[in-house]
Chain A
């Protein structure tokens, strides 16, 4: 059995079924299936996907993973794609459970569940893509389905605004990526990701890399390409915000690393760029977070700043050749995903409990007494984001800083010190929560 094929195909097939299930009996006798059915169906699908993932994991352990081939198209699991699949599935399941309470403002739950599943499926497939074009296609599939999730309450002006912003900026990004793909194909004649190069990069590939960086950078909110993110996180249903921050943006990061790594050999320039944008991201994210009073927006900016930490780690790894820094960056991805999901879900729970008024720094006062459990979860998430030991955020930041500081390079060291100062700065807005 080719479990990889099953794992990739299953959600894509199941997603329309979930949607149809919500509509099925509608017709002659006009009996509407309760939307709960869609939820139960999604839960069952999630359980099945966990089983499939376990099978894939076991096969990977045994070294018996087979690539899926459809014509010239190849899909293959490796460590990074397994990580991505695990992440996507975890966040998917959590958000699913969280959504069981139902949002009174939400109509058409079947669409919600179907798109959630489709996004997850696209994410898993994206990890398996072995060439740049397919990577891009999966990525677009993921972004488009997540776009439908974001714009779920499109009748609200702010949501509409944010959705259009998201869509338009994504479209610009996609355009740049296609351009880059074209350039790479022209320069190299192949789009495979695992081509190794040596020597200096030709100008065409350099430009292509720059385009890739900006194109994917939009999705993973590199400053100044981040402007869509706070609006979208604030406007989307909270479960979706959690999903976006915990899975979609994160997978943008992984894709960025993967795409750039095909152009990496011998080129420190991507490392430098990632390092620099990591620094800018941490600083600007923190500064803007200071200006926020609304919790979801503050979390959005803090996630921009944390993306900076990831970039710092990965960038230092590429630039100075420190595998430990790259690992630290990827570990930060994992930690970030969990922390952000928890933070957004906790805020969502508080929102749900307090009747849907936007939560600001002042209105959450005393919530710990009224809603102890979600309050505790939020505090835990925020302390972790602030980087207090022994929480995941501390381990992640510590690893990045320690790995970076092991390098004798002044740029890396400077960036590490800069990031450390930023962590201090960040406490300024985390603590008042």
Chain B
């Protein structure tokens, strides 16, 4: 059974190639079917692997071939089947399939329909390579691959008129650039791994690490910090989260699949995968916990002040990724991955719901132009509310259990972090309540909103499936049974677990309810009128604007880094102008002049030629006799 694992990557690759080569002769329907079937087959493989793992939970490494061989280091194309990788495979292919089907409807009529599905399948290839990799270099290859696909898909509508296309493509470039900052860290970490262990394979590195590196030694701290840098960029943590809100420029299925459910969790996956290394570096773990907690709180705050329906969700994603980072940093990998799973369900649901709203309205996602959609889009409304309540953490929805596990850990081990996270949970409930009030309640604040009709079935069906998953997803790791933790235990031996903390759960539940009630108090009792300002903006004043701009981090980068680089670049350009301009021409002129010195050898005076010959002979004779036949 484990031998099937290459096919999980092969199917989407085949789909991409098929659509790339033959897509132009197929109708939209055909292209969509090819892409979806590829994804479904991939999911089937994942299920088969899961079934096989149930019998033999220790997994296996399947080596496909050699890849890079540089004297001491051998890097193989090897795929790893263990509980961690298969969990990710199930997630990626499962949610991937649902979103493929959704996208087949959502993208209908787009002139570059085929290209979209080629990219989407390609993303699956890269993401599955990432999670199935058996060594850091292959993981990095997938890491870069998903980055590329993310770039291509964020900027997918680069050709929209009126400067929108330009905004889309610059959002794509920004995502790519910010991720490159993290990649720089990752690459350095790769080099360190290669130097320290002489191998990139997970088994070797994780076996050698505790033997060669002592706990808290500077090398391992540096190594893990560099890895964290890569993870922070990909998983949009402070200080590198600025790209994710802008990444919402991509089509909504892309936001759901790549920027909520799968790719952005790669950072969490990396930390969980390399937990042996992180366990050796308590300092880095502290850094990760602080980074995650701050991100969770600040991003939740930023989400409060957004008007774009997708941007709220983007900041919400950042905030939830912060939760996962905290869990990973505390060593509670089970909790981190549990939340990763449930978050993938309810966040994909929320994104697809938002996409359905945008689709029904037929224009951009400003929530001030919506309102009253509860009756017009009943299915979307119902499923969106399920997703929202799951996000807010109300029992018995999936989000409650996973978030509660993280909070319990913090309650036991890090009370300060618990404070930050529970505040974030309060804000989470508030912003998602605000969103529901603004979008679905009140009265329609624009004509399209007043005339909206429910989206077609192909869009609604995935919502229902995801709503189901968001409802019952918590069952995989209920307090007391902890089946998911036991399942992961085969791969991650040293995952921390704590018992269910009723006090923490009660407190967080109370805070969530408060958040929802506050949202109702502010936005529900007096629904927003068209053209009137946001009531919160009135009360918070300048803070509201600052939060809306993501606490101004973006402006800070713009002002300090971008402008700073501009200055340095300008200075260098001027220096170049003054010093180096024409240097090449001068060098050539110099060479020509030197050539001129030897040119007189070329004479038509035959006598001189003979002199040259005899001179040469004399020279050769002198050397010969001087060296004397040695």
Contacts and interface: CB of A to CB of B under 8 A. Distances in A.
Nearest to B612: A224
A169 B609 contact: yes
B575 interface: no
Contact of B616 (A203, A214, A268): A214
Interface in A120-164: 161, 164
Contact of B630 (A200, A202, A214): A200
A210 B595 contact: no
Contact of B629 (A225, A267, A428): A267
Contact of B628 (A200, A213, A225): A200
B599 A225 contact: no
B617 A214 contact: yes
Interface of B: 588, 591-592, 594-596, 598-599, 601-604, 606, 609-610, 612-613, 615-617, 620-621, 623-625, 627-630
A291 B593 CA distance: 9
Interface in A379-433: 425, 428
B609 to A, nearest CB: 5
Chain A interface size, under 10 / 10 to 19 / 20 to 34 / 35 or more: 35 or more
Contacts of B624: 206-207, 209-210, 269, 273
Interface stretch (A25-33, A40-48, A59-67, A282-290): A282-290
Given A269-B630, A291-B592, A222 B616 contact: yes
Contacts of B613: 169, 172-173, 214, 218, 224-225
Given A200-B630, A206-B624, A227-B603, 4 more contacts: A202-B629, A210-B617, A213-B620, A291-B599
A273 B625 CA distance: 12
A210 B630 contact: no
A339 interface: no
A217 interface: yes
A230 interface: yes
Which of A172, A176, A227 has the largest count of B CB atoms less than 10 A from its CB?
A: A227
Contacts of A214: 613, 616-617, 620
B620 A224 contact: no
Interface in A279-299: 284, 287-288, 290-291
Given A225-B616, A230-B602, A287 B595 contact: yes
B217 to A, nearest CB: 39
Contact of B588 (A169, A227, A428): A428
15 contacts: A176-B617, A201-B629, A206-B624, A206-B625, A207-B624, A225-B616, A228-B609, A230-B602, A273-B624, A288-B595, A288-B598, A288-B599, A290-B591, A290-B592, A428-B588
Nearest to A203: B625
Contacts of A428: 588, 591
Nearest to A212: B620
A217 B594 CA distance: 24
A272 interface: yes
Which of B596, B616, B620, B623 has the largest count of A CB atoms less than 10 A from its CB?
A: B620
B623 A287 contact: no
A173 B617 CA distance: 10
Nearest to A205: B629
Contacts of B617: 176, 210-211, 214
B604 to A, nearest CB: 7
Interface of A: 161, 164-165, 168-169, 172-173, 176, 200-203, 205-207, 209-211, 213-214, 217-218, 222-225, 227-228, 230, 266-269, 272-273, 276, 284, 287-288, 290-291, 425, 428
Contacts of B596: 291
Given A165-B609, A200-B628, A201-B629, A210 B621 contact: yes
B625 to A, nearest CB: 6
A201 to B, nearest CB: 4
Contacts of B627: 268-269, 272
Nearest to A425: B591
A267 B630 contact: yes
A213 B627 CA distance: 15
B37 to A, nearest CB: 40
Nearest to A176: B617
Contacts of A165: 604, 606, 609
A269 B602 CA distance: 29
B620 A273 contact: yes
A207 B621 contact: yes
A47 B141 CA distance: 55
Nearest to B599: A291
Given A164-B606, A169-B609, A269 B623 contact: yes
Nearest to A269: B627
B611 to A, nearest CB: 9
Question: What are the 4 A-B residue pairs with the smallest beta carbon separation, nearest first?
Answer: A201-B629, A287-B595, A269-B627, A210-B620
Contacts of A267: 629-630
Contacts of A217: 616
A228 B602 CA distance: 9
Nearest to B627: A269
B173 to A, nearest CB: 32
A211 B598 CA distance: 25
A227 B629 contact: no
A290 B620 CA distance: 27
A290 B595 contact: yes
A376 B617 CA distance: 42
Nearest to B617: A214
A320 to B, nearest CB: 13
A300 to B, nearest CB: 11
A211 B613 CA distance: 11
Contacts of B602: 227, 230, 288
A284 B598 contact: yes
Given A210-B620, A267-B629, A287 B606 contact: no
A211 B625 CA distance: 12
Nearest to A197: B629
